[in-house]
Amino acid sequence: MSTPDDMHKQAFREEASELLSELENSLLELEENPENEDLIGRVFRAMHTIKGSGAMFGFDEISHFTHNVETVFDLVRSGEIPVTKDLIDLTLKARDQITTMMEAEMGGDPPDRELGEKIIAGFVALIPSNESKAQSGPAEKKPEPEKLEPRTYRVRFVPNRDIFKSGTNPVYLLDELKELGDCKVLASLKDIPVLSQFDPEACYTGWDVIITTDKDINDIKDVFIFVEDSCEVSVKVIDDPVLMESPSKYKKIGEILVERGDIKPETLQTVLEEQKPIGEMLVSKGLVTKDRVESALEEQKTVKEIRSKRQTDDSASTVRVPAERLDKLVNLVGELVIVQARLSQTSSVKNEPILSSIAEEIEHLTRELQDSTLSIRMLPIGSTFSRFKRLVRDLSAELGKDIEMTTDGADTELDKTVIDKLNDPMVHLIRNSIDHGIEPPDVRKAVGKPDKGTVHLSAAHSGANVLITIKDDGAGLNPRSIKLKAIERGLISPDADLPEKELFGLIFQAGFSTAEKVTSVSGRGVGMDVVRKCIDSLQGSIDINSKEGEGTIITLKLPLTLAIIEGLLVNIGDESYVLPLSAVEECVELSKKEVDAAHGRHIINIRGEIVPYIRLRDLFRIKGERKALEQIVIARINGERIGFVVDSVIGQHQTVIKNLGVVYRKAKGLSGATILGDGSVALILDIQQIVDMARDKEVTTVA
Amino acid sequence: MAATTSETRQYLTFTLGEELFAVEITKVREVLDYTKITKVPQTPEFMLGVINLRGNVVPVVDMRLKFGLSQNDRTVNTCIVIMEISMENEMTVLGALVDAVQEVFELESGQIEPPPKIGTWLKTEFMLGMGKRDDQFIIILDIDKVFSYTELAAIAAIGS
Amino acid sequence: MITFNKEKSGNSGVLILGGEFTIERANELKTALIRHLDSVECLRINLKNVNEIDLSCLQLLCSAHLTALGLGKEVVITGADNEVFDKAWHDAGFHGFCCGLMDEKATCFWQGGEN
């Protein structure tokens, strides 16, 4: 259905949106380190790529818009324009404008043209007017860089297999390279397969180019600017140019062998040193002279060094894989875990030593496979953190507050799905800190705090969980006003005597908002209850700590992954259910005697503490008789202990979570299903929702 | 629509009591023997629950109950027809519990009568038409309509 | 245009390529190479009438050579003095590697520098 053109456009959009978010980060970092050339270079390259690829795929408006930004950053790069806050502001605006333009291309709202022109005017004003070249062209050469001594570089360029499909001809890039200086282009053909396995649209060729040029290394890299993300490109200086300039036939042979992968550099080296190999064979056949072999050996050494360096570079390289493929893999591993459980079960019944040892081995391997598969989905939370930098920057400016955001633990890894879903609640919490938490500068000064407020984000691992904290040094929560408001909203009764912590927890209840003034920042009609819902859906919990006048700390506790759950397997009637183990604190028995002692109220006395419980059998209307001796699973939900009555507790069960699908989307109290060792399906309970359901029911039965 | 072009299609027939039903074979993925079904609490009776289909959780609908017939005892012939339904613009796999699966047979579109306006106990919107096989009427089901989201996900309302 | 003439002996044949060989025709070329390499022991590929050739097709010629080596057959390029081909071959940096195709005495990549 989609034409190749569409595919290219789609690819461009994806690439561009990635570039744009990277650009934002670079800009924000640049604001803090205005001298950092690497960052300036990154901004320039991002703009250059967007402009170039934009034009290539017919996004002329975007390309045109980006042109001036690129021009300015080229001048920044050459030190003619300094990095100022205004420049960063303007560039951030430009970045947003490009984003809007991109969205418009995808069918979104059209961009504000006037704003776009204003931004362009801003950039044009920055370009020194007497510089005629600034008007004429952007990326053209910087003002005469001092002439460099000609140096020799080795450029390795291995295009992506699909490079033809993106409309790029790698040979043109080589031609461009040739314009920079004297080039020796050597193709690497080791990846070319036999005809039967040959994909006519794939590029199997890679190149090593030895180039001698007086141009800067960046000029060489710029040739590959459009492809550097998808292709392997490395540029290395070869320090002894003389060696490279005396090409001889077998210098290439040596290389070829290494390139082919038939011979490792080391092997070639050893072979050459030890016995008569290719070199001597060639000599004996009179095809070459000995000194030439020596020279080849010399180069071999150089190549070897370069290779080994390059190998370390390669090991850090990454592969881009569609998320759905990963999901598929995770699912398959999930299947494997289930089958493996069955195998273990069978082997323990059969009690055959050989079978048992195989089963054990499989168990071990499966566990390892599972761990590494899940780790593929793990991403550092840092990218989310840096996204908030912009939020803090813009919001504080809007509210006239001076706020700095600091982070730590940005490299803490979390499942991609968790990270994706975490964005909204985090935005909400940070907005809240900035809007209601941190005081305006004059107020802060009056109470003896530094003018500048701080929002600190941190992430850290804690067992199978990740703790994310949002800490501000603002005014903190006022327990009295929370209580008054909660009473006013009918959330608690006026005579309720709640500990401070529970009072704070009320702000996450539906219908509660501490904002007395509605600002554009927080007055969006959504309360903090959205945050709680979201965290609940992630199987996480929220803890809130605050001291009036000193600040607030909100801690989110989240599971590392959503794909797998440590569960507690229980039975009710004929069915099995799984409760998330993370919330479970203990299991106790519920005898008939105790039920009678409570006179119809659903409470149990555990070591002097009164704990309410919910009969899952009743709530789910499961048919059959209650057992004489039931079990209560005690879980902690939002700091409260609540019991869930089941027939029996079977034990711990690590399992892959399966979606219940469209049909059961509205089913309440369930977060999914899992497949047990015997192949049957067990439902996973959403205990938070069950508590809510039970509460609703109580309300209706009372009324 | 179907009457204008004459094309032959294959149908799978199954029975519920005395009635013979047919669904287009392209909708059918496979036929399974009866297996243990896990009930999802607080859902309508005809939603029997979910089964494990090679690692996927698949909902199963009791066709008798769905069509307002009385529930039958399971027999050796009872089976689950796994079908692919487009629901809410998504392909969903769903199982239909039926009394017995009969056969696969071909019908030309010309042989299919439009559903009668009156005199049927089944909602006419569930039918694509009526066919005939050895003097017995076959109800050809519009399975996407039978298993539409609104039909099945009345769930929440009943649950609470 | 791709034409194929088999010699009477049946052991060798000439594949004459004419026109533009770019990625649009890569699949056609691949099919022809497979088919004709299959039918003879020695395949001569004549490039005299090629007036454009890009990387995708150059790769294919190499692959044909590699395939032939694997089968114990021979592929020889003729008419390689064609300017267009010569330029493409050099621009892509294939010279010096796959020249075994054109000159049996030269070093060929696939033959591991034996000759």
Asked whether the beta carbons of residue C112 and residue A260 sit closer than 8 angstroms, the reply is: yes
The domains located in chain A, with CATH, are 4-136 (1.20.120.160), 151-315 (3.40.1310), 323-377 (1.10.287), 379-559 (3.30.565.10), 564-702 (2.40.50.180)
Interface test with A, best of C109, C110, C115 (most A CBs within 10 A): C109
**Are A262 and C112 a contacting pair at CB < 8 A?**
yes
Percent above pLDDT 70 for chain A: 80
Higher pLDDT, A368 or A246: A368
Pairwise CB contact (< 8 Å): A194 & C66? yes
Q: Of the listed A31, A67, A68, A70, which one is catalytic?
A: A70
pLDDT at res. B158: 37
pLDDT of residue A470: 92
Q: CATH assignment of C2-101, given 3.30.750.24, 3.10.20.30, 3.40.605.10, 2.60.40.1180?
A: 3.30.750.24
The predicted-structure confidence for A192-237, as pLDDT tens digits, reads as follows 888 888 988 899 888 888 888 877 788 888 888 878 778 888 887 7
Asked if A478 is an active-site residue, the reply is: no
Residue A248, pLDDT > 70, answer no
**Which residues 661-700 of A are in CB contact (within 8 Å) with B?**
661-670, 673, 675, 679-683, 693, 696
- Identify the pLDDT of residue A137: 42
Among the residue ranges A91-105, A137-151, C82-96, the one predicted with the least confidence is A137-151
Q: Is the CB of A286 inside 8 Å of chain C's CB atoms? A: no
Average pLDDT over chain A, rounded to whole? 78
Residue B65: burial class (beta carbons within 10 Å; 0-12, 13-18, 19+) = middle
Q: Parse chain C into domains and list their residue ranges.
A: 2-101
Instruction: Place A698 in a pLDDT band, splitting at 50, 70 and 90.
Output: low
pLDDT score of A255: 56
Q: What is the pLDDT of residues B17-75, one digit of tens each?
A: 888 999 999 999 999 999 889 989 888 888 899 998 877 889 999 999 888 888 878 88
Helix axes A416-432, A529-537, angle to 10 degrees: 160
C59-87 b/e (C-beta count within 10 Å ≥ 16 → b) = bbbbbbbbbbbeeebbbbbbbbebeebee
Q: Do A256 and C27 touch (CB under 8 A)?
A: no
CA A282 and chain centroid, separation: 54
**Neighbouring-strand partners of residue A222:** none
Give the A:C interface size as CB pairs under 8 Å: 100
Average pLDDT over residues A56-62: 78
Question: Who contacts A373 (Cβ-Cβ below 8 Å, separation ≥6)?
Answer: A329, A330, A333
Residue range A486-505: average pLDDT? 80
Element (H, E) at A419: helix A416-432
pLDDT at A25: 85
Tell me whether residue A70 is one of the annotated catalytic residues: yes
Q: Which of A342-356, A577-591, B27-41 has the lowest mean pLDDT?
A: A342-356
Give the residue ranges of DSSP H helices in A261-320: 265-274, 278-284, 290-315
Taking residues A141-165, report their average pLDDT: 71
Q: What is the pLDDT of residue B49?
A: 92
Cβ contacts of residue A424 below 8 Å, gap of 6+? A530, A534
Model confidence at A149, pLDDT cuts 50, 70, 90, reads: low
- Coil/strand/helix, residue A348: helix
Over residues A91-120, the mean pLDDT reads 84
pLDDT at A612 over 60: yes
ipTM over 0.95: no
Judge whether B97 and B48 are in contact, CB under 8 Å: yes
Question: What DSSP state is assigned to residue A658?
Answer: B
Q: How many CB atoms lie within 10 A of CB A406?
A: 12
The reported pLDDT for the residue numbered A301 is: 57
- All structural domains of chain B: 8-159 (2.40.50.180)
Q: Min CA distance, A650 vs chain B (Å)? A: 17
For residue A636, give Cα distances in angstroms to A226, A440, A580: 53, 38, 11
pLDDT band at A133; cut points 50, 70, 90: very low
Give the Cα separation of A393 and A372 in Å (integer): 38
Instruction: Name the residue facing A661 among B54, B55, B92 (closest C-beta).
Output: B92
* A117 three-class SS: helix
* Residue B81 scores a pLDDT above 90: yes
Amino acid residing at A262: D
Cα(A103)–Cα(A101) distance, integer angstroms: 5
Ranges A305-309, A324-328, A632-636, B60-64: which has the least confidence: A305-309
Instruction: Indicate if the pLDDT at residue A491 is higher than 90.
Output: no
> Nearest CB to B153: which of A331, A622, A666?
A666
Nearest CB among A335, A662, A666 relative to B88 is that of A662
Question: What's residue B6's pLDDT?
Answer: 67
CA distance C30 to chain A (A): 7
What is the spatial distance between Cα C18 and Cα A524, in angstroms, rounded to a whole number?
A: 69
Contact of C103 with chain A, judged by CB distance below 8 Å, is answered with no
Give me the percent of chain B exceeding a pLDDT of 70: 90
Question: Residue A139 burial by CB count (10 A; 0-12/13-18/19+): exposed, middle or buried?
Answer: middle
Asked if B51 and A681 come within 8 Å (Cβ–Cβ), the reply is yes
C100 or A672, which is more confident = A672
- With cut-offs at 50, 70 and 90, classify the pLDDT of residue C105: very low
Q: Known catalytic residue: A218?
A: no
- The SS3 assignment for A508 reads helix
B56: which chain A residues are within 8 Å (Cβ-Cβ)?
A: 658
Residue of B nearest to A671 (CA): B40
Q: Do A335 and B51 touch (CB under 8 A)?
A: no
Average pLDDT over residues B123-141: 85
**Stretch B88-116: mean pLDDT:** 86
Question: Is pLDDT above 60 for A168?
Answer: yes
Mapped onto helix, strand or coil, the DSSP state of residue A409 is coil
Task: Look at C63 and A194 and tell me if their CB atoms are within 8 Å.
Answer: yes
Residues in chain A closer than 8 A to B149 (CB atoms) = 662-663
Rg (chain A; Cα; Å):
33
For residue C44, the one-letter residue type is R
Given a cut of 80, whether residue B121 has pLDDT beyond it is no
Q: Match 């050099």 to its residue by tokens.
A: C90
Residue A134: how many CB atoms within 10 A of its CB?
20
Mean pLDDT, residues A521-545: 71
